[in-house]
Structures are given as C-alpha cells and as structure tokens.
Amino acid sequence: MQTKAFSELFPLFNTANPETLEWLLSVGVEHEYPAGRAVLMEDAWGNAVYFIISGWVKVRRLYGENAVTLAMLGKGDFFGEMAILDESPRSTDVVALSDVKLLSVSAQRFIQTLFKDSQLHHRMLQLMVRRLRQTNLRFQRRHQPPAIKLANTLVGLADSYGQVTEKGTEMFNIPYKDLADVTDISVEDTAKIMDKLENKGWIKVDQQQPVICLINLKQLTHLAGRI
C-alpha cells in the first residue's frame, strides 16, 4: 500500500510525516482472518497495534461462558493500543465479524513512532478522547427508548464506516445480538425495530451480501436526535 492511500484510509495518520508512514509500512505485517476467528485474546499482553484495512471486527468482554459485544470497528480504524500504552494484559478480546485484513505494528515500534512524530502522538490522543466521549454519550443515552438508541448506533456506524452508494449508505449486516449488546437493548427489541425501519423503507437488509443499506439516513438521524 502506498503512503498516500494509507493516510487517506486511516484518519490517525492524516497529519503524520511521510517518513513516518513509509517506515510503518515497511515494518508492518499484514494478516487475514476469516469471519468468526479470534484476532486478539483476553488476558494476552499487548504486543502490537492492529489497523483494519478491510472488513469488520467486534470488541467483546467475556463473563464466564457469556460474551458481551462492547464495540464494532470497521475499515480505517485500529485497536490494541490500550494494552500497549498502559502495559497491562487486555481486558477484552477481538473477533472478526467478517473476513478481515489487518496490518499490525509491534508495540515497541509503534511507541518509537509516537515519540518521533509529535503530530502523530497528538492525533492519537485526539482519537482516544473521541472514543471516550462516545462512551460517555452511550452512557447518557441509557434511559432513552430502544428505537432512539438503536438509531444512534446505526447512524454512528454509518458515519464512521459506511460506504455511500446510489442506493444509500451501506455497511456490514451486523448480527442482531451484537447490535443489541452495543446499543444496550434486548435482541427482541432489536429485531422488532429493524423490521419496523425496513417496513418504513428507511433501511434495507440484504441477507445475501450481507449488507445493511441505510436508505433514509436523514430520517434515522432525526430519530436518533442528532439534528
């Protein structure tokens, strides 16, 4: 991958020096995982940062035999940085939702890069603060009706990872269990609301692809209370 394409794909590197990008690409290692494969395991010590070139992953926490999805990440995002920065074992694991292609950079080399490139260091802090704010917003919405909460989840994922097409904004058809976990509503409510949204013509679920097309993003945004 060329440095320009790399910086365009990953917002983290928008302000990074070209020399930084060239070095990262030279030391990075590409990985491919099929859907359902664990990428990182809970309690493993952080040894790399992973950048999502294509596909989707979910971050989850295990409670005995049960797993709860905490977040879903798509192309252009990254994970694994927390375990590196605080030098402690991971408290979550990461599983491929779809076929996924990743680029990993070892912990030592990534930390070296942050020290060398102050712009990248600052950008990293900005994105981590953004994630914290998103978590705070999710907590503030915990008492809102399920439909509003789910609309917020769909709009947020579309804004971050959706692909704009002639039909609407397309994204991966996320399993209802994972949507329900991230939204903090029941699977039953998730299924009912998704059916209602599809009947209204606001979304279209294509089980063959698998893709969800947000046909009327404006109405979903209004339902989410973002406008």
pLDDT: which is higher, 106 or 42: 106
pLDDT of residue 32: 95
Domains with residue ranges and CATH for the chain: 3-139 (2.60.120.10), 143-223 (1.10.10.10)
Pair of tokens at residue 139? 């907590």
For the segment 74-119, what is each residue's pLDDT rounded down to a tens digit?
999 999 887 777 665 566 789 999 999 999 999 889 888 888 888 8
Residues 6+ apart with CB under 8 A from 186: 146, 180
Average pLDDT for 213-223:
95
Comparing CA positions, the residue from 177, 94, 82, 163 lying closest to residue 127 is: 82
Separation between Cα atoms, residue 130 and residue 128, nearest integer Å: 5
In sequence order, what are the beta bridge partners of 33?
100
Separation between Cα atoms, residue 119 and residue 77, nearest integer Å: 18
Burial class (CB in 10 A: 0-12, 13-18, 19+), 17: middle
Separation between Cα atoms, residue 187 and residue 178, nearest integer Å: 9
Q: Which amino acid is at 6?
A: F
pLDDT at 44 over 80: no
Q: Is 185 helix (H, G, I), strand (E, B) or coil?
A: coil
Confidence category of residue 14, pLDDT binned at 50, 70, 90? confident
pLDDT of residue 227: 53
Separation between Cα atoms, residue 98 and residue 90, nearest integer Å: 22
pLDDT of residue 200: 95
Q: Which amino acid is at 158?
A: A
Separation between Cα atoms, residue 27 and residue 105, nearest integer Å: 7
For the segment 124-167, what is each residue's pLDDT rounded down to a tens digit?
888 888 888 888 887 888 889 999 999 999 999 999 999 999 99
pLDDT at 187 over 70: yes
Quote the mean pLDDT of the chain.
Answer: 89
Q: Please report how many Cα atoms fall inside a 13 Å half-sphere around the Cα of residue 111, on the Cβ side.
A: 13
Average pLDDT for 25-36:
93
pLDDT at 41 over 80: no
| Helices marked H in the chain | 3-9, 18-27, 81-85, 107-116, 118-140, 146-161, 176-183, 187-199, 217-223
What is the pTM for the complete model shown?
A: 0.89
CB atoms within 10 A of CB 171: 20
pLDDT at 181 over 60: yes
Name the range with the highest mean pLDDT among 14-28, 52-66, 176-190.
176-190
pLDDT of residue 71: 92
pLDDT at 43 over 60: no
